Each structure stands twice: as structure tokens, then as C-alpha cells.
Amino acid sequence: MAALPPYASPAQRTWHYTFRIICGLIFFFLIFPIMVIVPLSFNSLPFFTFTPEMLRLDPAGYSLINYKDFFTNPDWNNALRNSVTIAPVATLLATSIGTLAAIGLSQSHVPFRSAIMAILISPMIVPLIISAAGMYFFYSRIGLQGTYLGVVLAHAALGTPFVIITVTATLVGFDRSLTRAAASMGANPVTTFFKVQLPLIVPGVISGALFAFITSFDEVVVVLFLGSAGQKTLPWQMFTGLREQISPTILAVATLMVAISIALLTTLEFLRRRSERLRGLTPA
């Protein structure tokens, strides 16, 4: 925020400070509910509230018992294993399909472009519960309901729109004469894609992949419909944990998931900046 200019009127000064306060409140509103979970997850007692010991900062009030439960309880172990086997595969699928779709749909000669785009984007707009119910009936028919493949495919379908949108946005700045130049130099379309186009749109692909991963990793509605006990993911286990056992372990899980999300975002943002620098968009 820029400093106040010397000619600012009293009303402008008031607004300047009010604006800062409003911004602060918005941040607080967004972040506080997440942040409060972190200290709570170290509670030594199985409660969802701060104990007097914790408030006094007495070391006896804190423990890693919730984390220990998460890493030793077979229910949570299974859920973790399912989540880390489903999310990456769904991400890979969504990223490949979404990138190719975005490139195809960016070409002006493709007929019904906006209609196709609308259909591909629809999982993002249609209420999740409706997609989930529809997938449930469809996948039951073709025998995918309750299978690992079914959950992966459903999550890929949910993640694809994010990839399409981010890659399409990157393609707007992509100079089509570069692919023509590559062709004039004798590169076939596949070489042109991997050597010229992909390196230049990779920031969009990475952002899309991140969204697709988070979509799958956080998803609970579709997996409740489509999964069987064998595909219980972390969010599903948390949901059951809340509803049936009220186990404080979910506080530890939530903290870990927040940490993973932050780590992912940071890494990918770093990668994105690096490749943007490499493609010469920002000076080195």
C-alpha cells in the first residue's frame, strides 16, 4: 500500500486507515479458523477446546498424542495410503487430458469450441452432489463403482476443468508463430509440442496440476458415493471421525494437510517463477 501523499484530506486519511483495518479483518476471517487448529492439535487431552493448561502454556498441556494416533491407527494409515495413491494418478490424468484439451480448443478451426469447453468445465460449475450422484449411477452400470479406478477417474474429471482453465489462460500469451517456426525448421508436431510449446506453457500446466491435486486430495462428496471401504481417503476418514467418533486425531490430520498444502503451493510457485524466468518473460 502506497504511503499517504502530503496533500491528502482528512477524509482520505481516515479512509486510508479504515481500508487497512478492513483488509486485516478479512485476512483474520479467512485464516484464523485454520490457524487455531494448529495449537489445538497438540492438545494432550481428547478435547476440541483449549484446556486451562494450554492457555497457561504449561508443557504438560501439550503432547503429540494425536499425531501418534494418526501414524499408528490402521484406519488412518489406510486412508493416508489411499489418498496418496489416488490423488497423484488423478492429477496425472487430469493434467494430461486438460492440457491437450486446452491446446485443441485454442485452435480456431475446431468446431463447437465453446460448447465443448462448457461441457469440459461443467464439473466445476454443477453442484458436486449432483455430479457425484450422476457418476454413482453411471459408474454402477459399467462396474466402476467401488473401485480404485472409478475414484481416480471421477477425481480426474473434477480436476480437468482447473487444468483447462489455467492452460487456456497461458495459451492466450502463446505466440502461434513459434509452432509454425518450429515446423518450418523441420520439427514434426510431436517434437514441436515437447520442445517448443510445452516448455512455454509449463507454468499454466503446473498451476493446473496443483489445483487438480488439491481437488482430489480434499474431495469427500464424490468419494463417499463412488468409493467402497477399500477407497477410504483422508477427507472421508476425517468426515467419519467427526461424525462417529469425534476423535481429536482429525486436528492433527488437518494440521498436516494444511502444512502439505502450503509446502505444495510454495514449491510449485517457485517452479512456476523459475520457468517463467527461463522463457524470458521476466528479466533474469
Partner 1 sequence: MASSPATEEAFVRFTKVQKSYDGENLVVKDLNLDIAKGEFLTMLGPSGSGKTTCLMMLAGFEPATNGEIYLGDRSINHVPPHKRGIGMVFQNYALFPHMTVAENLAFPLQVRNVGKAETETKVQRALEMVELGEFGSRRPAQLSGGQQQRVAVARALVFEPDLVLMDEPLGALDKQLREQMQYEIKHIHENLGVTVVYVTHDQTEALTMSDRVAVFNDGVIQQLSSPESLYEDPQNSFVAQFIGENNKLNGEVTKITKDTCVVKTNDGTVLKADKVNVDAVGDRTTISLRPERVELDPPKKMDNMLNGKIEELIYLGDHIRVRMTVAGNSEFIAKVRNRGEKRDLVEGETAKIGWSTSDCKALDLAS
111 interacts with partner 1 by CB under 8 A: no
- Rounded Cα distance between 161 and 105, Å, is 13
281 interacts with partner 1 by CB under 8 A: yes
In angstroms, give the least distance from the CB of 212 to partner 1. 24
Q: Please work out, in degrees rounded to the nearest 5, the angle formed at the alpha carbon of residue 123 by the alpha carbons of 118 and 127.
A: 115
For partner 1, the closer CB: 133 or 271: 271
In angstroms, give the least distance from the CB of 94 to partner 1. 25
Q: Binders of partner 1: how many residues, by CB under 8 A? A: 26
For partner 1, the closer CB: 174 or 225: 174
Question: What contacts 164, CB < 8 A, 6 or more positions away?
Answer: 98, 101, 102, 105, 117, 120, 121, 208
* C-alpha cell read off for 265: 503451493
For partner 1, the closer CB: 198 or 242: 198
In angstroms, give the least distance from the CB of 204 to partner 1. 14
DSSP state letters, 62-83 = B-SHHHHHHHH-HHHHHHHHHH
Binding mask 185-214 for partner 1 (x = CB under 8 A): xxxxx-xx--xx--xx--------------
108 interacts with partner 1 by CB under 8 A: no
For partner 1, the closer CB: 57 or 190: 190
Binding mask 153-182 for partner 1 (x = CB under 8 A): ----------------------x-xx-xxx
For partner 1, the closer CB: 52 or 283: 283
- Rounded Cα distance between 242 and 247, Å, is 7
* 3-class state of residue 247 by DSSP: coil
- Rounded Cα distance between 221 and 154, Å, is 11
- Rounded Cα distance between 276 and 272, Å, is 6
Place of cell 478451426: 109
* 3-class state of residue 18 by DSSP: helix
Smallest CA-to-CA distance from 196 within 206, 181, 207 is with 181
**Which one of the spans 16-24, 70-78, 183-191, 258-266 is the region binding partner 1 (CB under 8 A)?**
183-191
Q: In the complex, which residues of this chain contact partner 1 (CB under 8 A)?
A: 175, 177-178, 180-189, 191-192, 195-196, 199-200, 275, 278-281, 283-284
